[in-house]
Amino acid sequence: MRGTLLYIGQRLILIAITTVLVSSIVFLLLHQIPGNAFLNETRTTPQALAADLRHYGLDLPLQQQYVNWVTAVVHGNLGESLVNRGVQITPLLVRETSVSATVGFFALFVTIGLGMLLGVFAALRQNTWVDYVASSAAVVGYSIPAFVIAIFMLLIFGHYFFVWTQGTVYYNVGWGDWTQVPVPAIALGLPYASYVARLTRASMLETIRTDYVRTAWAKGLKARIVVLRHALRNALIPVVTILGPLVTGIITGSVVIENIFGIPGLGKEFVTSILARDYNIVIGVFTFYAALVGLANLTVDVIYPALDPRIRY
Amino acid sequence: MRRIALFRSLAVAMGTVWVVAACGGGGGTGGQNLASDQTLSFPMVDDVGDLDPAHMSAAVDIDIFRNTYSGLYKFDDQLNEQPDIADGQPQISSDGLTYTFKMKHNAKFSNGDNVKADDFIFSWDRAAAIQGDYASVFQPVVGYDDVSNGKGDHMSGLKKIDDYSFSATLTAPAGYWFTEVALWTAWVVDKKVVLAAGKATDSTWASTPETAIGTGQFKMTARTPKQSIDFAPVANWWGGSTGTVTKVHIEIVADQKAQLTKYESGGYTLIGFANQSLTPEDVIRYHSDAQLSKQLTLQPSARTTWVGFNQCSSSNQSKDCKGKPTSPFAGDGNGKLLREAFSLAIDRDQLVDIACSKGTACVKATGGVITKGLKGYLGDNGDPWAAFDANKAKQLLQQAGGAAAVGNLTYTYNASAFNKAVCDNLASQWRQNLGVTVQCASTDRASFFHARSKCGYSIFRHSWGADYDHPQDWMDFLFVTDAGSHGECYSNSNLDSMAKDANSKPLSQSLDTYKAMNKILVDNTVTANLVYGVQQYVAHPYVQGAGGNALYDNYWSDVKILQH
Amino acid sequence: MAQAAPVIQPDLELSYEVPEQVTLLTDAWRRLRRNRLALLGGAIIAVLFMVALISIVWTPYPVWLQAVGPTYQPPSLHHLLGLDQAGRDILSRIMGGALITVEVGIGSAVILSLIGIPLGLLAGFYRGRVDTVISFFINIWYGIPDLLVALILVFVLSDALHLIPRGVFVIIVAFSLTRWMDVARLVRGQSLALREREFVEAARMAGGRDLALIFRHIFPNALGPIIVQATFAIPAAVLFEAFLSFLGLGLPPPTPSWGAMASDGYHGMDFAPHIVLAPTIALSITLMAFNWLGDGLRDAFDPRMRR
């Protein structure tokens, strides 16, 4: 137990360092850009520009800006939006993270739930039509990008079935209405679900063919259930190993999905800010993403030994 | 998709009062059968940028906050300047240098404070000190330079006479200055409140509903950044009635499609306030449908978009041209032939069909750079180079040395869906009609405006939205030598002296000069004028008073929601 | 605790065993031939390449030409896939898009191999400190949201620093810089195993220099798995380009990128679904084909998967 805590502590420190490191790179890259966010085609004068630069501390030497930025980040302050003056970035991103997380968790649920369900069924009914349908769905599904699935779903639910859905799957206003979550979450989770299905099927097949399962199978229903539970637990292990990249994938995918469905989350903010050249927010979102990916990987590594007793730190 | 239009204007707004059939079949236009819920709600693609009048420059911000702030003068629906807090017209000294403003005694801030001359002088001084994009409104005032350079905090030209009158002295006669006094930068803020919140130049007070105090009909009641803003009418407003609207709710919804879906299910009163628009596909759908088109208003707006040609050559007097290579488009010889060829080779009907969503987002520009409907417009078809003639264009190109004369061309624009669509179409037309391959390059706004103002692009997107209905706004900031927002870097000493002369006179005496200047620009094909702007509004049939004029939306107090 | 593998290829490290040198290719080909899905994938890819090649010399209409007919026109005999919002022939643009796709896919596979293979070989061959440093970087790189870094790289390299003009190449570079780890880790594992094998040992005894050992003995024997890995990088790169262009951060207009075409069309889905359907279907089929072929190759090169 102590060992685990120590391990978690070490990892948290590493995550903090990686986060600052990665966002530092983004910070330095973005500050190489000539010009700045304030010029526009109205009557900007040199004085007006200087006043803006001073306000954001952009008139300081780069080293000084960097030191100020790191100091602020360590204190949890990501600064002020360049486009929406006076808007503090940290609370904004915290709010948007909760939105993205809602969709993300649902997507993860879809991925793992649907994926494992398909995988298990395909394995149990190997070489029957169930297997073929599930396997073909998987082999097609994992090649279709999330944004294409999103477009198809929009076309179906937002247009052809509009009378039925009344567009609730589409508009995001006053986000928090549960009916708005499933469609984007499915679009986001589906490509990875087919992936999980393939994995589950393979490992289930392997387990099912072991002698003890065959014996139990032969003995009747109750034992069958017991063993299935074992088999399932074994099948879960490879799924957990890919959870880390899965979360990264869902985070990346959410950038497109949130843009398509107009979900006011981190991904939407990321793209909007890049297009509006609100560099402070871009760096901020990036810092959040780096931390999220790190934390997701850590969570996986902590869950892993609970499932697979062979692994110890 | 959002037009970053600074301002719209055009034509004398045709009243824009909606003659609408009330829901339920009745023909009631009297607005007697009001709905019980008088909430005005509409979406915006992005949150407001600046909440402090001294910083504002975006149309979105101005369209919203002109409901919460006001100044001495304002523009009416016909874009004529009318007294607001001022009591009548100013007294102007015979040399045209000193303006004496008298104020109404009953004007009050939303917190009940009286509006006094001190507040105006304070507001104007801090606007000059803050140096927002429009601080130059006060440039003609004596003492402006000291304040803008940070050497002082008071413009010596502003003098209080008593609590309700003050005077402003200019360094030189400026016929357009009185027009500029009606701009947002000259709105009044509450000196007491601002100073209680911090330094005079701080803006934090403006983002907090409790301290965002103005003299307008509405006041901000709540704000969640990048999510929503709420307003309510000021009780017992000093200026009289605030209309029937009891609440204004604005939501930030980045996706225009999502906005419209919610509008269609009754979630919004209207879309279009605060410089918003529909997606090209949706506006086409509304425009072409007999029923839906009744909900759509297309309001000409005061923005012109054109192709800019770089004029830098060794003989160009612009400071920013120093050390720049000679542009293929410069000068009166081959450069002029090329400018003419590139302008003639554009079929503006096709451009409008494709890039302006069949004319619902903009209309073709045929009368010079100043937008149709504004003072200084040259009249329909006043620009001979805006007529499509592929054969003549090819001929002119051959005269100028053929495609080789222009070399590798890149048309640069700041990234936006509209700019991209325009470039895409122009490149297609130039390639088809002239045989010249032009690359499209998009860049971010900041880099774009920076490089453009330094004469860095040879052919590029340029556009201008009028700040007010006065040709000086176009000439001074775009076409005189070293104009602040030039990109063509045009330099013509003749034009410069005409501008100087015209600027010192009232518009009634100078309009012809301005028109002559506009003609010079057309004759020299300084710009290939493409399109004039259109502002889109959609509103439910039971909504009265949605819409606006060429420059602004209607005041929120004009909106009425009928029973439905 | 090993870093979890990427989504594309979860269990590569486990599944590879070094195959017999001589029979490798023939053996693999024999098994690949029996995999119908892989063959179908290969056939689709062959068609894609042909279309891409044809589009260089001929498309029904120029990909840039607007207003060849009314905007949003649905498919007809004249325009088999219809016209887009600017009145351009969609079939022509799909063909042009195939070329972009091939360029991005193959280019990325090559460049990221050029980054990943040497690093993997070095780490696996020298072990010790070299391996520690390289493995550390591999693990750090796995910890970042790769596509988003790549997105910022595209933006910084082309728009901000003007190092590489915005185009296919900058996308390839940005993608490769953030996705070289899979290949590097694979090659590292392979060379770790191979350097202990008898034939390498023998060559070392015979006085072979390190470079010669690496490139004459280790690299050729790791080639199979590398090809498999590179094949899987192609759909990832294609998807990245589509992702960027869909968000409006990719190739400049009028480049007929499938992602950009989907982005152009998706607002008009209500009344002109053909604009968005054509590129998304083309993209999906292409990704599928590469994944099928990749799966087939992996199975073919991996004796354990023998059926």
Tell me the pLDDT tens digit for each residue of C264-291: 888 888 788 899 999 999 999 999 999 8
**pLDDT band, very low/low/confident/very high, at B20 (cuts 50, 70, 90):** very low
Average pLDDT for residues C112-140, to the nearest whole number? 90
Show which of residues 271-290 on chain A sit within 8 Å of chain C, judged by CB atoms.
271, 274-275, 282, 286, 289-290
Write the single-letter amino acid at A36.
N
- Could you give the CA distance from residue A236 to residue B141 in angstroms, rounded to a whole number? 76
Element at B229 (helix H, strand E): strand B228-233
How many angstroms away from the CA of A225 is the closest CA of chain C? Answer: 28
Interface membership of C273 toward B (CB under 8 Å): no
CA nearest neighbour of A290 among A255, A251, A264, A258: A251
User: Which has the higher per-residue pLDDT, B272 or C12?
Assistant: B272
Residue of A259, A269, A254 lying closest to A189 (CA atoms): A254
Verify whether the Cβ–Cβ distance B132 to A48 is below 8 Å: yes
Give the single-character DSSP code of C85.
T
- Contact criterion met (CB < 8 Å) for B441 and C166: yes
Quick check: B12 pLDDT over 60? no
Cβ pair B415:C267 closer than 8 A: no
Mutate to test the interface with A, among B208, B255, B478 (most CBs of A within 10 A): B255
Which is more confident, A48 or A8?
Answer: A8
Q: Do C254 and B353 touch (CB under 8 A)?
A: no
Q: Are B433 and B345 in contact (CB under 8 A)?
A: yes
The answer to whether residues A265 and A99 touch, using CB atoms and an 8 Å cutoff, is yes
A242 touches chain C (CB under 8 A): yes
Whole-number percent of chain C with pLDDT over 90: 46
Q: What is the mean pLDDT of residues B182-193?
A: 96
The residue of chain A with its CA nearest to that of B54 is A48
Confidence category of residue C83, pLDDT binned at 50, 70, 90: very high
pLDDT given at position A18: 80
Closest by CA to A190, choosing from A110, A119, A262, is: A110
pLDDT tier at A312 (50, 70, 90 boundaries)? low
Judging by DSSP bridges, how do beta strands B98-102 and B91-92 pair with one another? antiparallel
Rounded to whole angstroms, what are the CA distances from C183 to A241, C27, C121, C219? 19, 23, 10, 13
Using DSSP, state whether B563 is helix, strand or coil.
Answer: coil
Measured in angstroms, the CA of A276 and the nearest CA of chain B are apart by: 8
Least confident piece of the model among A8-22, B77-91, C39-53: A8-22
> Band of the pLDDT at C14, cuts 50, 70, 90?
very low
C-alpha distances out from residue C187 to B182, C116, C192, Å:
71, 8, 8
The first and second tokens of residue B518, run together, are: 């506009």
Residue C144: pLDDT above 80? no
CB-nearest to A29 from C5, C152, C292 is C152
Q: Which of these, B103, B106, B136, lies nearest to B118 by C-alpha position?
A: B103
Q: Which residue has 């300081």 as its token pair? A: A60
Tell me if A18 and C249 make a contact (CB, 8 A cut-off).
no
Measure in Å the smallest separation between the Cα of B402 and chain A Cα atoms. 33
Q: Do A47 and B148 touch (CB under 8 A)?
A: yes
Q: Work out the burial of residue C129: count CB atoms within 10 Å of its CB; fewer than 13 is exposed, 13-18 middle, 19 or more buried.
A: exposed
Residue B4: band (very low, low, confident or very high) from pLDDT cuts 50, 70, 90: very low
Residue B272 forms beta bridges with which residues?
B274
Q: For residue A57, what are the CA distances in angstroms to A52, A64, C156? A: 9, 9, 21
Contact B425, C86 (CB under 8 A): yes
Smallest CA-to-CA distance from C99 within C179, C168, C172, C154 is with C168
Residue in chain C lying closest to A313 (CA)? C1
The answer to whether residue A255 scores a pLDDT higher than 70 is yes
**Per-residue pLDDT for B19 more than 50?**
no
- Selected residue of B252, B262, B443 to mutate for chain A interface (largest A Cβ count, 10 A): B262
Tell me whether A32 touches chain B (CB under 8 Å): no
Find the residue in A nearest to C2 (Cα): A301
Q: How far apart are CA B497 and CA C265, in angstroms?
A: 51
Statement: residue A240 has pLDDT above 60: yes
pLDDT interval class at B137 (50, 70, 90)? very high
A-proximal residues of B, 287-346, CB under 8 Å: none
Return the residue of B nearest to C256 by Cα.
B424
Q: Is C248 on the interface with B (CB under 8 A)?
A: yes
Rg (CA), chain A: 24
Quick one: pLDDT at residue A7? 83
Tell me the C-alpha to C-alpha distance, in Å, between residue B417 and each of A57, B1, B273, B296, C166.
32, 5, 20, 22, 17
Res. A162: pLDDT tops 90: no
Task: Note if the pTM is more than 0.90.
Answer: no
CA angle A288, A289, A293 (to 5 degrees): 120
Least confident range of A102-106, A120-124, B187-191, C101-105: A120-124
**Is the distance from CB of A250 to CB of A81 less than 8 angstroms?**
no
The identity of residue B485, as a single letter, is S
Q: A262 pLDDT band (50/70/90 cuts)?
A: confident
Q: How many residues does chain B have?
A: 564
Token pair for residue C9?
Answer: 């290829």
- Residue A278: CB atoms within 10 A of its CB come to 22
Does residue A310 have a pLDDT over 70? no
Does C262 score more than 50 pLDDT? Answer: yes
In which band, very low, low, confident or very high, does the pLDDT at C70 lie, cut at 50, 70 and 90?
very high
Q: Considering only A189-198, A229-238, A290-299, which range has the smallest mean pLDDT? A: A229-238
Whether residue B220 contacts residue B102, with contact meaning beta carbons closer than 8 Å, is answered with no
The count of CB pairs under 8 A between chains A and C is: 139
Query: Mean pLDDT throughout A94-108?
Result: 89
pLDDT at residue A86 in the model: 83
Confidence of residue A38 (pLDDT cuts 50, 70, 90): low
Name residues 50-79 of chain B within 8 A of C (Cβ). Answer: none
| Mean pLDDT, range B251-275, rounded to an integer | 89
Is the pLDDT reported for residue B542 higher than 50? Answer: yes
What six digits make up the tokens of B511? Answer: 């309009």
Q: What gap in Å lies between CA B276 and CA B42, rounded to an integer?
A: 10
Asked if the model's pLDDT at residue C8 lies above 80, the reply is no
Q: Token pair of B232, please?
A: 């309510």
Task: Show which of residues 29-48 on chain B sit within 8 Å of chain A, judged by CB atoms.
Answer: 43, 46-48
How many angstroms separate the first and last alpha carbons of chain C? 32
Partner A contacted by B227 (CB < 8 A): yes
Of the two residues B417 and C7, the one the predictor is more confident about is B417
Q: How far out from the chain centre does Cα B504 lie?
A: 23
Edge-first strand listing for the sheet containing B158-162 = B91-92, B98-102, B165-169, B158-162
Q: pLDDT at position A39, please?
A: 52
Average pLDDT of the residues of chain B: 90
* B356: confidence class by pLDDT, cuts 50, 70, 90: very high
Closest by Cα among B526, B562, B18 to B272:
B18
Cα–Cα distance measured from residue B153 to residue A202, given in angstroms and rounded to the nearest whole number = 76
Best mean pLDDT range from A212-216, B16-20, B328-332:
B328-332
Give residue A53's pLDDT.
80
- The reported pLDDT for the residue numbered A164 is 63
**Cα→Cα distances B212→B110, B219, B416, Å:** 9, 8, 32
**Percentage of chain B with pLDDT > 70?**
94
* Higher per-residue confidence, B134 vs A167: B134
pLDDT tens-digit series, residues B224-236: 988 899 999 999 9
Question: What is the least distance, in Å, from the CA of A202 to any CA of chain C?
Answer: 11
The set of chains that have 3 or more CB pairs under 8 A with B is: A, C
Q: What would the two tokens of residue B39 be?
A: 């909430």
Contact C112, C240 (CB under 8 A): no
C287 CB neighbours in chain A (<8 A) are 143-145
Residue B314: count of CB within 10 angstroms of its CB: 11
List the single best residue of A147, A161, A236, A300 to mutate versus C (max C Cβ within 10 A).
A147
CA distance B315 to B322: 10
Taking the CA atoms of chain B, what radius of gyration do you get in angstroms? 24
- Binary contact (C11, A238; C-beta < 8 A): yes
pLDDT of amino acid A167:
55
Q: Which residues of C touch B442 (CB under 8 A)?
A: 252
Token duo for residue B548: 């606006």
Q: Residues 123..152 of B with a Cβ closer than 8 Å to A: which?
A: 130-136, 148-149
β-strand partners of B457:
none
What chain C residue is nearest to B427 in terms of C-alpha separation? C64
- Examine the pLDDT at B6 and tell me if it is beyond 50: no
Residue B304 has pLDDT above 90, yes or no: yes
Q: Rounded to whole angstroms, how far apart are CA atoms B381 and A65?
A: 54
- How many CA atoms within 13 Å lie on the side-chain side of C45? 22
Using CB atoms, pick whichever of A145, A274, A293 lies closest to residue C145: A293
